[in-house]
């Protein structure tokens, strides 16, 4: 018996062994002749198995000649509309035409995550990362790893910590600014100045190129704060400081493009100016700048260095 009809018969409501599962699994709507979600999904294993084994057989009229990236974009549209079964259908067709398509695997991972199947989501994200050399935008692997880090948060505490550390360190090792040995002296000078004169002085004197790893620095700093080792508090300060300077540098540059005579002096003076420009204000919000500053203050307070408390107090005074 051909594999596709066999799978259709297995997933049919007429198959006694499948009846208990159809309330939670995607199925075939016979009256409309297409895939639909019968009830809120708890697992998408059946759908994925079918799509991987015979995706082209499920292709809709007019889809057979579409290139993989078009099928992927259609899948993305269905995902954004929360039509998860339809999204899986198109991701599967895209992979059938182009097996080395990490973006499609990432799309499948996000559908699993939305359906609550974290283990399957983790597996699909890992498949996408294994194919990361084929990403259209190489830097997208940073976002894939960050999405994995968030999923690991639901695992056992010790296992989650180890897996999170592995992914975050992988991101930070590839950070073109943070990982350069030539910049180590600058980072040490920034930290020394932070303890001695406060964050305002650091932001007056130093600028960093903004990278897409800021969120990884924030998460790594958070993990370090949760350990019992005092040395980890100093490392947390380094990560939060790097993230704060990178975000502030980008925001100051954006303000200067709109107000050419602007000069950073203090955070207290900076925030009202940034608030005048919706794009800059939004950037600070999505970059979690205030949260990063709050975490930096906490790390300074817990650093064990008496100067850290004063620097933390000055930061908290403007939050």
Distance of alpha carbon 214 from alpha carbon 292, whole angstroms: 10
What was the pLDDT predicted at 267? Answer: 97
Contact predicate 198/206, CB 8 Å: no
CB 286: neighbour CB atoms within 10 A?
9
Distance of alpha carbon 310 from alpha carbon 306, whole angstroms: 8
Q: Could you tell me the fold of the domain covering 3-136?
A: 1.25.40
What was the pLDDT predicted at 135? Answer: 94
What was the pLDDT predicted at 61? Answer: 56
Q: What are the start-end ranges of the H helices in the chain?
A: 3-10, 45-53, 68-80, 84-97, 102-115, 118-130, 140-152, 157-173, 184-197, 199-205, 214-225, 230-258, 267-276, 278-286, 289-301, 306-316
Copy the structure tokens of residue 72.
């992927």
Global confidence as pTM: 0.77
What was the pLDDT predicted at 154? Answer: 81
Report CA-CA distances (Å) from 136 to 69, 102, 103, 139, 211.
Answer: 10, 9, 8, 9, 18
Q: If DSSP codes are grouped into helix, strand and coil, which group holds residue 247?
A: helix
Distance of alpha carbon 314 from alpha carbon 264, whole angstroms: 16
Contact predicate 204/249, CB 8 Å: no
Residue 206 Ramachandran class (φ > 0 left, ψ -120 to 50 alpha, else beta):
beta
CB 117: neighbour CB atoms within 10 A?
20
Copy the structure tokens of residue 86.
């339809």
What was the pLDDT predicted at 41? Answer: 43
Main-chain dihedrals φ then ψ at residue 27, nearest 5 degrees: -150, -175
Task: Output DSSP code: residue 60.
Answer: P
The 10 Å CB-count burial string (b at 16+, else e) for 86-111 is bbbbbbbbbbbbbeebbbbbbbbbbb
From-to residues of CATH 1.25.40.10 in the chain: 3-136
Q: If DSSP codes are grouped into helix, strand and coil, which group holds residue 50?
A: helix
What was the pLDDT predicted at 301? Answer: 95
Supply the DSSP string of 188-222, one letter for each residue. HHHHHHHHHH-HHHHHHH------TTHHHHHHHHH
What was the pLDDT predicted at 31? Answer: 36
What was the pLDDT predicted at 189? Answer: 92
What is the full per-residue pLDDT of the chain (319 aa) written as tens digits?
Answer: 344 433 433 343 333 333 333 333 333 333 333 333 333 444 444 454 444 445 544 556 556 678 999 999 999 999 999 999 999 999 999 999 999 999 999 999 999 999 999 999 999 999 999 999 999 999 899 999 999 999 998 877 777 888 999 999 999 988 877 776 656 788 889 999 999 999 999 999 999 888 889 999 999 999 999 888 888 999 999 999 999 999 999 999 999 999 999 999 999 999 999 999 999 999 999 999 999 999 999 999 999 888 999 999 999 999 9
Contact predicate 295/241, CB 8 Å: no
Distance of alpha carbon 317 from alpha carbon 319, whole angstroms: 6
How remote is the C-alpha of 205 from its chain's centroid?
Answer: 31
């Amino acid at each position: 018996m051909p594999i596709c009809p066999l799978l259709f018969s297995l997933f049919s409501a007429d198959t006694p062994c499948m009846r208990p599962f159809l309330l939670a699994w995607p199925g075939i709507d016979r009256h409309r002749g297409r895939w639909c979600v019968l009830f809120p999904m708890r697992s998408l294993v059946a759908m994925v198995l079918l799509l991987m084994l015979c995706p082209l057989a499920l292709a809709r009229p007019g889809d057979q000649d579409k290139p993989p990236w078009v099928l992927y974009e259609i899948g993305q549209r269905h995902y954004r509309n929360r039509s998860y079964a339809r999204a899986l259908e198109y991701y599967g067709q895209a992979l059938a035409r182009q097996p080395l398509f990490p973006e499609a695997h990432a799309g499948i991972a996000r559908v699993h995550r939305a359906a609550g199947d974290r283990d399957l989501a983790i597996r699909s994200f890992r498949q996408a990362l294994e194919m990361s050399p084929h990403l259209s935008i190489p830097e997208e692997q940073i976002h894939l790893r960050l999405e994995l880090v968030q999923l690991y948060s639901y695992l056992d505490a010790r296992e989650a910590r180890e897996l999170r550390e592995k992914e975050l360190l992988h991101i930070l090792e590839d950070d073109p600014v943070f990982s350069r040995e030539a910049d180590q002296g600058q980072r040490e000078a920034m930290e020394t100045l932070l303890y001695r004169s406060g964050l305002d002085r650091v932001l007056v004197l130093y600028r960093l190129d903004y990278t897409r790893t800021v969120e990884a620095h924030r998460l790594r700093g958070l993990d370090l704060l949760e350990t019992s080792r005092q040395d980890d508090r100093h490392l947390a300060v380094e990560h939060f400081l790097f993230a704060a300077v990178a975000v502030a540098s980008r925001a100051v540059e954006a303000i200067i493009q709109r107000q050419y005579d602007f000069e950073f002096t203090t955070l207290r003076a900076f925030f009202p100016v940034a608030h005048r420009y919706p794009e800059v204000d939004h950037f600070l919000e999505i970059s979690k700048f205030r949260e990063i500053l709050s975490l930096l203050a906490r790390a300074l307070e817990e650093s064990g260095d008496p100067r850290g408390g004063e620097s933390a107090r000055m930061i908290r005074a403007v939050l």
